[in-house]
Structure 1
Amino acid sequence: MTDPVFLFTSESVSEGHPDKVCDRVSDEVVDLYFREAIKAGYDTSRVRVACETAATTNQIALLGEMRGPDTITPDMIEDVVRAAVKDIGYEQDGFHWENLKLSNWLHGQSEDIAAGVDEGTGTYTEEGAGDQGIMFGYASDETDELMPAPISYSHRILKRMAELRHSGERPEFEPDAKSQVTMLYSNGKPIGVDAVVVSTQHQDGLSAADVRELVRPVVKDILPDGWFPQEDKFYVNPTGKFVIGGPDGDAGLTGRKIIVDTYGGSAPHGGGAFSGKDPTKVDRSAAYAARYLAKNVVAAGLAKRCTLQLSYAIGVARPLSINVNLHDTANTDERMLEKRLMEVMDLSPRGIRTALGLNKPIFARTAAYGHFGRKPDADGGFAWEKTDLVDQLKDLVG
């Protein structure tokens, strides 16, 4: 039984965090392959990208395997990498978009992996999942976007700071930053904020007090009225000076912020990262589908909270299992709901990509501030945030 009153904490990291720089670069490579495939008339369902990125002081390394149109050149890949670092805002001595060294070790996809995924090949002739694994989706009615409140507010704080930095209104902020929000809950509902932590890279010459007062109005603007924590629980740059940051201050790797990317610890995670992967990789696409279904369940009023698990085997098209947990908040039967969800959406890798329109260059935008809780874009980005299954599910309300 959950305690009626408890604290729960989630963190976010900015687009300039070393790991997020790597996520962005990896997803820019994914987008490049889809853009060029569309231009070249190459079948986008045959695009394969598994791009890992590592970053340190003035260096980026790309590793992984790809398949796509032969119009893509190493120079094109280098251009999108440098453009991404520039867009994030890195023009520092220790990490500069123009001066960094790029090592590109990408190569062709393994034929053994391709045989399990391509339609008409492998043990099973239907197009199969790109890997085995478990994926989770989650939704909660505690925020308008049906996301847990702690991760939602953590993302919003950093996103607002980035907007102020990019606009020039707050040039004192530098790209690397972290936030953390500790929320007070009563009977499963957020009722206030107990503590906030913000650590942000900043221009040299600013005192800790200066940075604190720059961050304060951002946090006050993001949190609901009356939710700003007590002064002794408002932590800004607790170590003091934070001038050296980004990959110059700490090495980065793709896929190290999977809890930040999802639900901030409020829901289970299957362990697979998203960034750098084309949507045949069910680590990514099935996690998007699970969020899509869970969000529609809550939006339809079938429950206040929903956790949904899917599982897959490499080379096998259909999910091995589906499990729905409505956390004792249900207006319907969970087993009946599982059957209905399998009816309203084809959960094969091809079915997911078709339903959500994933074979497009829409992934770089997901690399920071969460893959979930975002508004669907007109070009198909964040399609998994739509609630267009609500009418098909409402008849299950008990």
Structure 2
Amino acid sequence: MRESYLFTSESVSEGHPDKVADQISDAVVDLFLAKDPQARVACETLTTTNKVVLAGEIRGRGIYEDGQWAEGVLDEIEAAVRHTVKRIGYEQDGFHWQTFDFSNNLHGQSAHIAQGVDESGNKDEGAGDQGIMFGYATDETPDFLPATLYYSHRILERMAQDRHGKVVPFLEPDAKSQVTLAYENGVPVRATALVVSTQHALGYYDDGSEGSDAAKYKELRDYVVGVFHDVLPQGFITDETKIYVNPTGRFEIGGPDGDAGLTGRKIIVDTYGGAAPHGGGAFSGKDPTKVDRSAAYVARYMAKNVVAAGLAKRCTIQLSYAIGIAEPLSLYVDLHETGTVDAAKIEAVLPTLVKLTPKGIREHLQLNKPIYQQTASYGHFGRKADGDAFTWERTDLVDQLKAAIA
């Protein structure tokens, strides 16, 4: 392991076109789970200039049965989609929550998938697909996330709060952040580069062209630099820190009007900012029977508890599944040479504390609830939610882990 190095993570705001798509897909998941906790949902979203398109397969009581939509559900889907865009804040000529063209292409779930996945007779519910899923935790931050990603998220969350609260007049919904930190002896000690590109109101740029305004750009830049200082630990920003605010110069056209958005294109932002492996499966738009989502959540839950228990400073956990098969095919624990115990002992103990079948995961983490839209921006991990919605962030296995491995 290298002890001294630079590492970078990025985040994107709730108004980024891909994140708009994620939030719409999860709004559909929440709508359906509120009607039927056992609903099956695989909802993909495309956003572009004044257009939102849904596609995918679904099934559920009071939603879509026997090839027919339940009465009123189609109107509820469109209302949920438009409300999501309104909440984000899009009221622009190129993308407006009231006027965008909406196309719903959701259809019934394949019977061939259903027969392999559904619980029946002596058959336990099988995994909704094959694949590998990873969970990760590190003691770099109080929320057990990599510091580079943690601060990237917090920068954009703060800017979104200020935009919604009308603290400043120039912020629009679309934004990206990037944080590069220097690590010494494996510990983040200072920022070497900070980047924010944010969509802005007319004139808040300075390139010398007609319509640009140096004073307005300075106001925007000073605000963003102030957010950097508020979010990062004292002393992390030095005279040598490179700071870039809207380095392309002008960013008035943004969101789905500036670039198309698709569900599932920000999976590294959603997870660990590149500090840990990713299995490749997106989370948003999928009900919790899909192990791409639920197994990644439980892997994070187990890894976080391992680190919180003091058994390692860093922990990566991999799970693998086959479609229609209930039990995982493998469980792998990597403590990155920071462990106080043998990783094989942890591998043996974890399945005794958490049943790792799709149904067992959902029951342990209470996932059959409409809680997912709030996961779809600023990361699925290392965050607090309303009440105790993000159950995979609990550290309630700590005592059991310590007792079992002692």
Equivalent residues of 2:9, 2:179 under 8 A apart: yes
C-alpha distance after superposition, 1:340-397 (max 9, x if no partner): 001000000000000111000000000000000012542x411100000000011356
Q: CA deviation at 1:187?
A: 1.4
List per-residue Cα deviations over 1:292-336 (Å, max 9, x = no partner).
Answer: 000000000110000000000000000000000001111111111
**Residues 55, 253 of structure 1: 8 Å contact kept:** yes
1:3 to partner: Cα distance: 2.8
Which amino acid in structure 2 is aligned with residue 92 of structure 1?
Q
Residue 385 of structure 1 is matched in structure 2 by: 393
Separation in 2 of the partners of 1:173 and 1:230? 26
Contact 1:331 1:397 in 2 (8 A): no
Q: Which moved more, 1:330-339 or 1:11-20?
A: 330-339
Secondary structure of the corresponding residue to residue 124 of structure 2? coil
What residue identity is the alignment partner of 2:20?
A: V
Q: Which residue of 2 aligns with 1:104?
A: 104
CA distance in 2, matches of 1:226, 1:160: 20
8 A contact 1:376–1:385 mirrored in 2 = no
1:358 aligns with 2:332: no
Cα distance change, pair 163–154 in 1 and its aligned pair in 2 (3 A): same
Aligned to 1:336: 345
Q: What does 1:178-327 align with in structure 2 at a 5 Å threshold?
A: 178-207=176-205, 208-230=217-239, 233-327=242-336
Instruction: Show the counterpart of 1:41.
Output: none
1:170 offset after TM fit, Å? 1.7
Structure 2 residue matching 1:79: 3-state secondary structure: helix
Q: Does the Cα contact within 8 Å between 1:30 and 1:49 map onto a contact in 2? A: yes
Does the 8 Å contact 2:149/2:272 carry over to 1?
yes
Mapped to 2, the partners of 1:146 and 1:280 lie a distance apart of 26
Query: Aligned with 1:374: secondary structure?
Result: coil
Q: Which residue of 2 aligns with 1:57?
A: 49
- TM score, norm. by length of structure 2: 0.93
Aligned partners of 1:389, 1:396: CA distance in 2, in Å?
A: 10
Counterpart in 1 of 2:77? 77
Q: Deviations over 1:83-123 (max 9, x none)?
A: 000000000000000000000000010000111110017xx
Q: Secondary structure of 1:54's partner? A: strand
2:40 counterpart (43, 48, 73): 48
| Residue identity in the other structure for 1:7 | L
Aligned to 1:342, the other structure's residue is in SS state helix
**Contact (CA 8 Å) 2:194, 2:241: kept in 1 or not?**
no
Give the Cα separation in 1 of the matches to 2:33 and 2:313. 37
Q: In angstroms, what is the RMSD of aligned CA positions? A: 1.3
Give yes or no for the alignment of 1:152 onto 2:150.
yes
Q: CA deviation at 1:262?
A: 0.1
> What is the deviation of 1:214?
1.9
Deviations along 1:247-283, one digit per CA (max 9) or x if unpaired, are 0000000000000000000000000000000001000
Partner of 1:394: 402
Match of 1:40 in 2: none
Q: Residue 129 of structure 1 aligns with which residue?
A: 127
Deviation string, structure 1 residues 125-178 (Cα, Å, up to 9, x no partner): 211000000000000001000110000000000000000000111231100000
Counterpart AA for 1:16: G
2: distance between equivalents of 1:4 and 1:339? 30
How many Å separate the matches in 1 of 2:142 and 2:399?
19
Where structure 1 has 5 or more consecutive residues not aligned to the other structure, the ranges are 38-43
The 8 Å contact of residues 374 and 385 in structure 2, kept in 1 or not, is answered as: no
Give the Cα separation in 2 of the matches to 1:92 and 1:101: 14
Between the aligned partners of 2:351 and 2:386, the Cα distance in structure 1 is: 26
Residue 248 and residue 113 in structure 1: after superposition, are their counterparts in 2 closer, same or farther (change >3 A)?
same
Aligned counterparts of 1:52 and 1:113: Cα–Cα separation in 2 = 18
1:24 touches 1:84 (CA, 8 Å); kept in 2?
A: yes
For 1:218 and 1:4, locate their aligned partners in 2 and report how far apart those are by CA, in whole Å. 29
Tell me, in whole angstroms, the C-alpha distance in 2 between the residues paired with 1:229 and 1:91: 38
Equivalent residue, structure 2, for 1:24: 23
- Where 1:214 maps in the other structure, the secondary structure is helix
Report if the CA contact (8 A) 2:90-2:97 is conserved.
yes
Is the Cα contact below 8 Å between 1:53 and 1:63 reproduced in 2?
A: yes
2:94 is the alignment partner of 1:94: yes
Cα deviation code 1:210-260 (max 9, x no counterpart): 321121111110011111254761000000110000000000000000000
4+ residue segments displaced more than 3 Å: 229-232
- Structure 2's unaligned 5+ residue stretches are 64-69, 206-216
SS at match of 2:328: coil
Higher mean displacement: 172-181 or 63-72: 63-72
Distance 1:397 1:141 in 2: 20
> Is 2:191–2:241's contact at 8 Å kept on the other side of the alignment?
no
Q: Cα distance 1:229–1:26, how it changes in 2: closer, same or farther (>3 A)? A: farther
Instruction: In structure 1, give the amino acid aligned to 2:220.
Output: V
Aligned partner letter, 2:371: I
Cα distance in structure 2, aligned partners of 1:376 and 1:323: 29
The aligned amino acid for 2:290 is: K
Secondary structure, in 3 states, of the residue corresponding to 2:195? strand
1:175 alignment partner, SS class: strand
In 2: Cα distance, 1:326 partner to 1:73 partner? 47
Q: State the distance in 2 between where 1:366 and 1:284 align.
A: 11
